[in-house]
Amino acid sequence: LAKTTQPISMDSYEGQEVNITCSHNNIATNDYITWYQQFPSQGPRFIIQGYKTKVTNEVASLFIPADRKSSTLSLPRVSLSDTAVYYCLAKRDNYGQNFVFGPGTRLSVLP
């Protein structure tokens, strides 16, 4: 069962746009792509979810190409408070029920 693949870490500066790409080559037809954010000493928090094309909310945008084998989370004009770990979820476990969390992408926003 192929898990999602995303960069282990990224650095950015305040005010920049950050794009984190996730690979999910074996995504199932009915699976959604979901991103969570986790701050130190806190539980993960839902950011955004999509199935195809583009989804935007007040926090982020999610771009999903037609083949759905990858997705890109876009954070506009990041601030220091966006420093966190970002998880891309697109795969169920062998029971077909539970999402599998990978190690995520550790984003560090520098002043």
Partner 1 sequence: NAGVTQTPKFQVLKTGQSMTLQCAQDMNHEYMSWYRQDPGMGLRLIHYSVGAGITDQGEVPNGYNVSRSTTEDFPLRLLSAAPSQTSVYFCASSYSLGRSDEQFFGPGTRLTVL
Residues that bind partner 1 (CB under 8 A): 30-32, 34, 36, 41-46, 49, 51, 87, 93, 95, 97-104
8 A C-beta contact, residue 63 and residue 71: yes
Q: What is the smallest separation between the CB atom of 76 and partner 1, expressed in angstroms?
A: 22
The sign of the CA dihedral 46, 69, 5, 108 is negative
Q: What is the smallest separation between the CB atom of 53 and partner 1, expressed in angstroms?
A: 15
Nearer CB in complex with partner 1: 14/56: 56
Nearer CB in complex with partner 1: 16/61: 61
DSSP for 43-74, please give it: --EEEEEESSEEEE-SS-EEEE-TT-SEEEEE
